[in-house]
Chain A
Amino acid sequence: MTIRRNLFRNGGNLLAATETIRMSTLSLLLAMVVSAIIMAICRYNPFEAFGAIFTGAFGNSRAISQTLVHATPLMFTGLAFTIAKKASLINIGVEGQMYMGAIATAWIGALDFGLPAVLHLPLAILFGAVAGALLAGLVGFLKVRFGSNEVISTIVLNTIAINITGYLANYPLKADGPTAQTNRILPTAELPRLFQGYQLTAAFFIAIAVCAIIYLVMNKSLLGYEIRCVGYNRLAAQTAGIPIGRVMVVTMLISGAVAGLAGAMLVLGVDKRFIVGFSPGYGYNGISVAALAADNPIGVVFAGLIFGALNAGSMVLNRTTRIPTDFINVIQAFVIIFVSAPLLVKDILPFHKLRRKHDK
């Protein structure tokens, strides 16, 4: 008891951080247990399922590479959601912003400027980020200027963005052939593979670097401070002379840029072109990642890896067992619910109750 109190006095943040990590871990485990129970009810062997997932995610070097490849877009989308959340903005539009980023990158990547790779690749990435930022910026602008609820406008813009990119890939930018996709990007715009025969590219490390940068910006910089002020208490921020409208728009721009990067990296590293319907819902799964990360940019790295492993593993699940891969989506949805309902987790897990009584 005394130790606990001292900890609280001297390093409340540390205690809060460990508590957050504990709750996230418990929520994840609970989501997996619940899914396992559902599997068992459906007469599948959950051990077989998780075994297959584990093999698919970590079984050999190729599996690990796949885990990292799957984690990359999730880290970007999770981070994008987290950034907006810091300003108390719910950016459901990550999916649409990612589509915009992907199409912009695919367009620039396929254009032949005669540029060397050192210029062409960054240019393509930049366009992806800018395209995502612009769409998210529109959301911020609508909110600040007209008071439109960002949840609704992002949902609407997702559909619009997916339709517009679909139109572009079907008509003006369509590559020859039956499928709705753009031309293959030029070799100068490709993210090189790190190891021969593995899909892993530098995109994974770029994702980690972006998470680290965002962490520093949020916690150590003036801009991050103002974003957090706006997120926690808009009126107090306004009273303190913080231009809340501008901060919200800037936050959305950054969030959208990171979402755009998700699309750009997928195009440059994995698909090599924009393919209609390329995303299995990375934008929405980013919400799960952000939830599991408890809105911490560093946490996003780990949460992204966990979901990356689940997704990579689900491929093997699909190949080697009859168990439907949709269990992975069920787990992800449960993670959102459990992480956002700590009281529920405490109710379900009995040892928490004992502990609470003991504390009293």
Chain B
Amino acid sequence: MISDFILRMVFPVLISTISMSTPLILAALGGVFSVRGGIMALGLESMMMTGAFCAVLGSYLSGSAWIGVLCGVLGGMLLGLLHGVLCIRYKVNQVISGIGLNLLALATTTLLMQLVWKNRGSSPQVASLEYSGVVSPLFWLTLVLAVVASVVLFRTKFGLRLRMVGEHPQAAASMGIRVHGYKYIGVLVCGALAGLGGTYLSLDHLNMFVRDMTAGRGYIAVVINILARYTPLNTIWCAGIFGFSDAVQIIFQGRGIPPQLVQSLPYVVTLLVLAFGVKHITPPAGVGKSEDD
């Protein structure tokens, strides 16, 4: 009885939670580097989406899933770089830049799908990551990356300087630290990780790209980022909550409960968390400002 329950309910939920939270953890980890360097990460969605698209494109063109992964990471970095150039060099409002890029990524990936595959809805199936066992190696890689991110941020000179840049750019500049350089590194790392998150969606979870593939996960990652107080290790369990509610929703589906309501569940949870849980979390003091150094 109990083992049956575990087999039929707990196990699938667990697997599903892991699979749903992996891209969220990756994107939120990316967000940590961006925000710690003083740049809001509202563009995570665009980086994930571009990552997901480029991964499929890379895999499609090369026939190798791993080249696809590399392309996904590079695609995310490209968007990270764009976000950086807009926010750092051109001092664009970081919210507007993020949203503009999200729209741009959605439009561009849809456009490119038509150009490459003559199909506006989805790409053909491509070589995806193959592995034995039920848990993706990318999940384990993600856990490792979270630990590495934590060490980099809190135990290295780079991390100390990046945090100083995010907290007080003028102070960092007055000590001769190249503020803009660190910010660029922050958004590039952010793009790489979010791009990897997108890659997970298109080459691991599925084996193709579909229009609006990320479907708001980038925004959820922003919320996770806040909830985790911008610390890498906290993102794992914060993302886990969202992955779990996603997983539960899948289980509930087809049991007479309208899917629209079940799908709203994680968002309602987010809203409640926003109202009651995020009050005392302050981002680094330099976030959102674009002053000269």
Contacts and interface: CB of A to CB of B under 8 A. Distances in A.
**A–B direct touch, CB within 8 Å, in complex?**
yes
Interface of A: 42, 90, 92, 142, 145-149, 151-153, 155-157, 159-160, 163-164, 166-167, 170-171, 284, 287-288, 291, 324, 326-327, 329-330, 332-334, 336-337, 340-341, 343-344, 347
B127 interface: no
Contacts of A288: 103
Contacts of B170: none
Contacts, number: 129
B274 A329 contact: no
Contacts of B91: 341, 343
A152 B263 contact: no
Interface string B172-204: 000000000000000000000000000000000
A160 B86 contact: no
B120 A324 contact: yes
Given A330-B111, A333-B100, A156 B270 contact: yes
B97 A149 contact: no
A192 to B, nearest CB: 33
Given A146-B274, A147-B279, A156-B267, 16 more contacts: A142-B271, A148-B278, A149-B274, A149-B278, A155-B219, A156-B274, A157-B267, A159-B264, A160-B264, A160-B268, A170-B260, A326-B111, A333-B103, A336-B103, A337-B97, A337-B101
A276 to B, nearest CB: 9
Interface string B105-123: 0111011001100001000
Given A42-B115, A167-B258, A148 B274 contact: yes
B86 A337 contact: yes
Nearest to B269: A156
B259 to A, nearest CB: 9
Contacts of B104: 330, 333-334, 337
A148 B104 CA distance: 27
B271 A155 contact: no
B111 A156 contact: no
A340 B97 contact: yes
Nearest to A42: B115
A332 B108 CA distance: 11
B2 interface: no
Contacts of B96: 90, 287, 291, 336, 340
Interface of B: 42, 86, 89-93, 95-97, 99-101, 103-104, 106-108, 110-111, 114-115, 120, 216, 219, 222-223, 226, 258, 260-261, 263-264, 267-268, 270-271, 274-276, 278-279
17 contacts: A146-B274, A146-B276, A159-B263, A163-B261, A164-B260, A167-B260, A291-B96, A324-B111, A324-B114, A333-B108, A336-B96, A336-B103, A337-B92, A341-B86, A343-B89, A343-B91, A344-B86
B279 A164 contact: no
B227 to A, nearest CB: 10
Nearest to B223: A152
Given A336-B99, A337-B97, A163 B260 contact: yes
B205 to A, nearest CB: 19
A232 to B, nearest CB: 14
Contacts of B219: 152, 155-156
Contacts of A326: 107, 110-111, 114, 120
Residue from the set B263, B267, B268, B279 with the largest chain A CB neighbour count within 10 Å: B267
Given A90-B95, A148-B278, A159-B264, A324 B115 contact: yes
Contacts of B42: 151
A113 to B, nearest CB: 28
A86 B258 CA distance: 39
Nearest to A158: B216
A149 B223 CA distance: 10
A147 B86 CA distance: 28
A157 B103 contact: no
Contacts of A151: 42, 95
A159 B104 CA distance: 20
A287 B99 contact: yes
Nearest to B106: A329
Residue in B104, B107, B263 with the greatest tally of chain A CB atoms within 10 Å:
B107
A340 B268 contact: no
A155 B222 CA distance: 11
